């Protein structure tokens, strides 16, 4: 696992926004701009989807992205491809080391399956995604495909097992992505309390954008 | 992982209908609740890229991340259920003779097929032209008024891709043999969309997709899905959600 730090400093960012624990966030990043997602307090899953701003039907494609890099986790150098085969963004720095794109997002309904039927009414990432999508107006449920879980650790074993491990992130870890095209960024700062993906304590995450 | 002896408690079926999908072909249909679709690799080395959607409400559709994390698996085989994003079971894998179906590889698009196999246009090859999974699935989806929004992660039946300690993918050649089959038992009316094309990570250099047979089966035993329902507590809860949908 190789960690690549960035030379960008927060004081030169053109935009900064702290997403409180458990909340959605939607913004745009223009072609050539660089987005940093910062895990402020550590072990916070940041569930993220990317769309082409010109055609929001074109979105991040996890299977193409993993296949073209030949590896199952995302890190520096990973090119995030779309469902039409176009590069949307490239990860240009990563001080965490690996990020999951197989675990998907929590939802009321999947919480009933994974944990218990009485967990249905807990807050979830899909609630966040849908709320942000419907307020924005360009996206709806059918646009919500499999997302990236930045800062989350979901190892795949050689025998075909899938496990959820303690996070490998820590306070101040970040990932940076440079956009190849204008993109919509849809984030749920994960509110999951039923497993260790947020260290049992969801915390804020920061978004920074540089020209 | 044998092709011969069926499991001792294998249910008996009435065969309702059978047809063959040629290599490169694509098709779609609604598999009715309670019926079982048997997909058989006729020659060995087949691959079928598969999508499943709730026929009544197609925005409720196969969610592979939920399917994998709910069952703590990165491969699919008998005993597993295929979950929708609404926490329901679209289909249960009630039988499987090849032991591993791949959730990672996805489908190639036209440019990726041309890059891998060379140019193979209809103008030169007529119906032997080089087809690609993205377009084949989109065409079938279009017949049901679905579109690019609905193209999600697919399962690649009959293919095995492992992940090594360095997190790299490895395609296992000659995994599926002639006669291998998988049974998908529908827990709701399920829109099935599929195409028979080589797996994107199959290193074979020539475009040579293999045919598969589809058989619509009616199990005589209503409990044919019991092993899937009871294999994990998560599956029992997903069955419960599916029953709630049918209230």
HEC string of B85-136? CCCCEEEEEEEECCCCEECCCCCCCHHHHHHHHCCCCHHHHHHHCCCCHHHH
Q: Kind and range of the H or E element at B39?
A: strand B36-41
Contact B151 A141 (CB under 8 A): no
Q: Determine the Cα–Cα distance for residues B142 and B159; give it in Å rounded to an integer.
A: 26
Which residue of A64, A71, A164 is in closest CB contact with B169? A71
- Distance, in Å, from the CA atom of B46 to the CA atom of B157, rounded to the nearest integer, reads 8
Note whether A168 and A96 are within 8 A (CB): yes
pLDDT above 90 covers what percent of chain B?
A: 94
Model pLDDT, residue B9: 55
A104 → chain B, closest CA residue? B65
In degrees rounded to 5, what are phi and psi of residue A36? -115, 130
What is the rounded average pLDDT of the residues B194-205? 98
Q: What is the DSSP letter of B244?
A: H
C-alpha separations of A145 from A99, B51, B107, B110, B225 in Å: 17, 13, 15, 21, 28
Chain-wide mean pLDDT for chain A?
A: 96
**Pairwise CA distance, residues A83 & A65, whole Å:** 9
Residue of B nearest to A143 (CA): B149
The enclosing H or E element of B62 equals: none
Question: For B136-195, how does the pLDDT look when each residue is reduced to its tens digit (9 = 90+)?
Answer: 999 999 999 999 999 999 999 999 999 999 999 999 999 999 999 999 999 999 999 999
For residues B208-231, give the mean pLDDT. Answer: 95
Nearest in space to B104 (alpha carbons), one of A85, A110, A109, A162: A162
Contact of B46 with B174, CB cutoff 8 Å: no
Q: A74 φ, ψ to 5°? A: -100, 140
Q: Is the predicted pLDDT of residue B2 greater than 50, yes or no?
A: no
Structure tokens at A31: 């072609």
Lookup: tokens for A135: 């307020």
Residue A124 corresponds to which tokens in the numbers above? 């979830």
Q: What's the pLDDT at A120?
A: 96
Rounded to whole angstroms, how far apart are CA atoms B177 and B194? 20
Comparing CB atoms, the residue among A72, A145, A162 nearest residue B167 is: A72
pLDDT (tens digit, 9 = 90+) per residue, A156-168? 999 999 987 777 8
Spatial distance between the Cα atoms of A191 and A148, rounded to a whole number of angstroms: 15
* Tokens at B222, concatenated: 């209503």
Q: Which residue, among A194, A119, A196, A185, has the nearest Cα to A148 in the 3D structure?
A: A185
Report the alpha-carbon distance of residue B228 to residue B230 in Å, rounded: 6
Q: Which helix (H) or strand (E) holds B168?
A: none
Cα–Cα dist A136/A211, whole Å:
24
pLDDT for position A105: 97
B:111-170 residues touching chain A, CB 8 A cutoff: 111-112, 134, 147-154, 162-169
Tell me which residue in A126, A142, A161 faces B150 most closely, judged by beta carbons.
A142
- The rounded distance, in Å, linking the Cα atoms of B201 and A119 is 39
- Residues of chain B contacting A156 with CB distance shorter than 8 Å: 74, 163, 167
Residue of higher predicted confidence among B222 and A126: A126
Q: Summarize pLDDT for A13-36 with one digit per residue, the tens.
A: 999 999 999 999 999 999 999 999
Nearest CA distance, B18 vs chain A (angstrom) = 31
Q: Over 50: is that where the pLDDT of B48 sits?
A: yes
Distance CA A161, CA B161 (A): 12
Pick the closest to residue A187 from A27, A10, A3 (CA basis): A27
The three-class DSSP label of residue B44 is strand
pTM of the model as a whole: 0.96
Instruction: Note the pLDDT tens digit of each residue in A112-122.
Output: 999 999 999 99
């Amino acid at each position: 696992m190789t960690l690549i730090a960035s030379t960008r400093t927060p004081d030169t960012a053109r935009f900064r926004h702290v997403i409180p624990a458990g909340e959605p966030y939607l913004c745009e990043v223009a072609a050539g701009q660089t987005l940093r997602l910062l895990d402020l307090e550590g072990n916070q899953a940041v569930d993220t989807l990317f769309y082409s701003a010109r055609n929001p039907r074109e979105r991040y494609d996890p299977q193409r992205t993993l296949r073209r890099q030949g590896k199952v986790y995302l890190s520096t150098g990973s090119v995030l491809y779309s469902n039409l085969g176009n590069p949307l963004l490239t990860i240009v720095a990563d001080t965490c080391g690996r990020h999951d794109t197989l675990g998907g997002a929590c939802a009321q309904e999947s919480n009933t399956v994974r944990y218990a039927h009485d967990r249905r009414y807990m807050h979830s990432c899909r609630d966040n995604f849908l709320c942000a999508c419907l307020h924005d107006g360009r996206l709806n449920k059918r646009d919500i495909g499999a997302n990236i879980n930045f800062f989350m650790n979901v190892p795949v074993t050689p025998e075909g097992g899938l496990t959820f491990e303690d996070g490998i992130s820590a306070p101040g870890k970040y990932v940076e992505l440079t956009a190849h095209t204008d993109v919509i960024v849809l984030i749920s700062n994960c509110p999951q309390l039923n497993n260790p993906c947020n260290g049992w304590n969801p915390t804020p995450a920061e978004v920074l954008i540089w020209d | 992982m044998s092709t011969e002896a069926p499991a001792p408690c294998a249910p008996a079926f009435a065969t309702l209908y059978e047809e063959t999908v040629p290599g490169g072909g694509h098709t779609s249909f609604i598999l009715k609740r309670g019926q079982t679709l048997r997909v058989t690799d006729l020659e060995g080395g087949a691959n079928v890229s598969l999508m499943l959607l709730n026929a009544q409400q197609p925005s409720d559709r196969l969610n592979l991340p939920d399917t994998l994390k709910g069952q703590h698996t990165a491969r699919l085989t008998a005993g597993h259920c295929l979950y929708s994003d609404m926490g329901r079971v679209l289909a249960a894998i009630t039988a499987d003779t090849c032991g591993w179906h791949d959730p990672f590889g996805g489908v190639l698009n036209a440019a990726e097929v041309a890059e891998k196999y060379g140019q193979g246009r209809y103008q030169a090859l007529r119906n032997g032209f080089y087809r690609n999974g993205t377009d084949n699935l989109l065409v079938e989806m279009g017949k049901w008024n679905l579109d690019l929004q609905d193209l999600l992660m697919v399962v690649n039946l009959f293919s095995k891709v492992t992940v090594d300690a360095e997190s790299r993918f490895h395609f296992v050649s000659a995994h599926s043999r002639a006669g291998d089959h998988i049974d998908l038992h529908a827990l709701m009316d399920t829109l099935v969309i599929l195409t028979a094309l080589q797996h994107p990570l199959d290193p074979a250099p020539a475009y040579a997709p293999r045919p598969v047979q589809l058989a619509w089966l009616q199990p005589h035993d209503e409990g044919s899905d019991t092993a899937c329902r009871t294999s994990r507590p998560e599956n029992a809860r997903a069955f419960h959600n599916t029953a709630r949908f049918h209230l």
